């Protein structure tokens, strides 16, 4: 254990609907979607046509800029439909899963006997390379680059986030193989962050060939971007890669079994979830297959692939994201309150300030909805609201304003290289101006990619 980092700021969102630690269902999907729009910077080139048979691990989409980067099928079956949007933009490839699942054979390999080029080629051919995210900008990692180091978060502080020990505690062998493989792709090694309070009890502290860091603090302490900023911040012209424990396990299984396995335990949670628990499913599974967890209230629910702060609103007809292990069901807040914020008593509302009596009940969980309780307005000059929840050495308000202005020099000055939208999700939650801060940061990053390419 190299160091213990204490984060004094942040906020744990007291939202109801945490998933119970048991698997209540295994979903065998009829249709699975591969969505190239999930991957920032990917220019998709279709490799299949409707009616083509595919195996689990067969290439379906390639990147036009780098044909070695592939998106492969998570199941075997038949290509049912190519979904396109405006100007024939490729939105998804729908695959009808076969009853008898068959996998492409990538061959069992010993990573200790492989060099970096062979490991890179194996991960690329399997379609697991998009699990690696490059910072800055949050794009798919460049296979031709050598990152300064690779980071992974071994704990989760997101609202209603999955329990890594429950989901992956029995896959230590595969995770270790994944670590050993990625360690050969960088000179800076693999860095794993763990929660200090349960360091001794988590099985991940036994992993070898990693540099372990421990953290104490509230959300977003579990965000890998926050961990990088507090361990060794990213400077201009530096790149680091990040990967989840889920990605490490998938890469390890690839080498240990010779097969692509993307099945995972997914937390179905949130205030609108019926008996929230875990479900085994593959990425691309339709959210509609979880009908047992939302009943007949679909019209009143927002379906989020990921957590409530930084997940994606996919709707009832959407699909589980490639990197996601959580589906959150939250009520669409369409009601308007009489008297609004001036009501003297609001026991059912949570406030980060002492506006309501919720601060007297810190143990309470709230059935939060999507209601903003107000509309967008001018930014307040005071950065105190955001400063209470940001755990990075940046000035979020000034960074957001620089992004709005499109001022690249100031964006660099105020930390655009260190952040992704998820790192400022709490700033958006507490923002009294009701601005979509994550979207503003996303557009700022898009401008940086365009201008700095």
- Report the side by side order of strands in the sheet with 53-54: 31-34, 90-97, 77-84, 53-54
Quote the pLDDT of residue 28.
Answer: 87
Joined together, the tokens standing for residue 84 give: 């396109």
Are residues 249 and 111 part of one domain?
A: yes
- Domain finish residue from 196, 229, 257: 257
Cα separation, 100 vs 104, in Å, equals 13
Are residues 242 and 146 part of one domain?
A: yes
Are residues 111 and 93 part of one domain?
A: no
Are residues 350 and 222 part of one domain?
A: no
Q: How many CB atoms lie within 10 A of CB 295?
A: 11
Q: Is the backbone peptide bond immediately before 382 cis, with ω within 30 degrees of 0?
A: no
* CATH code assigned at 288: 3.10.20
Please, are residues 32 and 73 in contact by the beta-carbon 8 Å criterion? yes
Q: Residue 260 phi/psi, 5° resolution?
A: -85, 125
Which ranges of 197-298 would DSSP assign to H, the alpha helix?
224-231, 245-257
Cα separation, 91 vs 50, in Å, equals 14
Q: 252 exposed, middle or buried (CB, 10 Å; 0-12, 13-18, 19+)?
A: buried
Please, are residues 331 and 271 in contact by the beta-carbon 8 Å criterion? yes
> Does residue 374 lie in a domain region?
no
Q: How many CB atoms lie within 10 A of CB 332?
A: 14
Count of domains in the chain? Answer: 4
Cα separation, 182 vs 288, in Å, equals 36
Are residues 302 and 231 part of one domain?
A: no
Cα-Cα-Cα-Cα dihedral sign, residues 68, 72, 78, 82: negative
Q: pLDDT by residue for the chain (453 residues), tens digit each?
A: 467 999 999 999 999 999 999 999 999 889 999 999 999 999 999 999 999 999 999 999 999 999 999 999 999 999 999 999 999 999 999 999 999 999 999 999 999 999 999 999 999 999 999 999 999 999 999 999 999 999 999 999 999 999 999 999 999 999 999 999 999 999 999 999 999 999 999 999 999 999 999 999 999 999 999 999 999 999 888 999 999 999 999 999 999 999 999 999 999 999 999 999 999 999 999 999 999 999 888 899 999 999 999 999 999 999 999 999 999 999 998 777 666 666 656 677 787 777 777 767 778 899 999 988 777 777 776 667 888 899 999 989 999 999 999 999 999 999 999 999 999 999 999 988 888 999 999 999 999 999 986
Are residues 118 and 72 part of one domain?
A: no
Cα separation, 382 vs 100, in Å, equals 60
Quote the pLDDT of residue 82.
Answer: 97
Are residues 69 and 123 part of one domain?
A: no
For tokens 């709707």, the residue is 315
**How many Cα atoms occupy the beta-carbon half-sphere of 253 within 13 Å?**
19
Expressed as residue numbers, the domain containing 394 is 384-452
Joined together, the tokens standing for residue 446 give: 């898009």
Q: Distance from CA of residue 128 to its chain's centroid? A: 15
Are residues 124 and 250 part of one domain?
A: yes
Query: What's 344's DSSP letter?
Result: S
> Does residue 67 lie in a domain region?
yes
Quote the pLDDT of residue 339.
Answer: 64
Please, are residues 106 and 127 in contact by the beta-carbon 8 Å criterion? no
* CATH code assigned at 50: 2.40.50.100
Task: Indicate the pTM of the whole model.
Answer: 0.95
Quote the pLDDT of residue 383.
Answer: 66
Q: 420 exposed, middle or buried (CB, 10 Å; 0-12, 13-18, 19+)?
A: buried
């Amino acid at each position: 254990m190299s160091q213990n980092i204490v984060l004094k700021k942040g906020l744990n969102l007291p939202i109801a609907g945490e998933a119970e630690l048991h698997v209540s269902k295994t979903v065998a999907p009829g249709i699975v979607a591969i969505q190239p729009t999930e991957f920032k910077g990917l220019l998709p080139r279709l490799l299949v046509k409707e009616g083509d048979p595919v195996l689990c691990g067969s290439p379906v989409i390639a990147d036009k800029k780098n044909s070695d980067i592939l998106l492969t099928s998570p199941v075997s079956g038949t290509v049912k439909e190519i979904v396109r949007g405006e100007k024939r933009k490729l939105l998804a490839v729908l695959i009808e899963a076969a009853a008898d699942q068959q996998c492409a054979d990538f061959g069992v390999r010993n990573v200790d006997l492989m060099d970096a080029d062979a490991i890179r080629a194996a991960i690329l051919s399997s379609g697991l390379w998009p699990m690696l995210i490059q910072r800055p900008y949050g794009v798919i990692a460049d296979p031709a680059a050598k990152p300064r180091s690779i980071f992974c978060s071994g704990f989760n502080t997101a609202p209603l986030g999955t329990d890594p020990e429950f989901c992956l505690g029995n896959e230590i062998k595969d995770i270790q193989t994944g670590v050993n493989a990625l360690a050969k792709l960088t000179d800076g090694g693999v860095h794993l962050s763990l929660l200090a309070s349960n360091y001794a009890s988590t099985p991940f502290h036994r992993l070898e060939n990693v540099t372990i860091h421990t953290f104490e603090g509230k959300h977003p302490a579990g965000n890998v971007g926050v961990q990088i900023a507090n361990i060794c911040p990213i400077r201009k012209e530096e790149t680091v890669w990040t990967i989840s424990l889920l990605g490490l396990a998938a890469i390890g299984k690839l080498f240990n079994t010779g097969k692509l396995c993307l099945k995972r335990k997914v937390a179905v949670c949130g205030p609108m979830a019926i008996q929230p628990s875990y479900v085994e499913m593959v990425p691309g599974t339709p959210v509609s297959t979880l009908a047992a967890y939302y009943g007949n209230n679909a019209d009143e629910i927002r379906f989020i692939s990921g957590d409530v702060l930084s997940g994606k609103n996919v709707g009832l007809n959407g699909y589980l994201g490639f990197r996601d292990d959580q589906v959150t069901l939250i009520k669409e807040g369409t009601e308007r309150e009489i008297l609004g914020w001036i009501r003297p008593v609001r026991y059912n509302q949570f406030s980060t300030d002492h506006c309501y009596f919720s601060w007297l009940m810190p143990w309470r969980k709230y059935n939060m909805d999507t209601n903003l309780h107000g509309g967008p307005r001018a930014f307040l000059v005071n950065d105190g609201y955001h400063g209470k929840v940001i755990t990075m050495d940046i000035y979020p308000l000034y960074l957001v304003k620089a992004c709005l202005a499109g001022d690249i020099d100031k964006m660099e000055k105020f930390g655009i290289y260190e952040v992704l939208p998820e790192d400022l999700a709490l700033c958006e939650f507490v923002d009294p101006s009701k601005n979509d801060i994550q979207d503003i940061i996303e557009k700022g990053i898009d401008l940086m990619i365009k201008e700095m390419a």
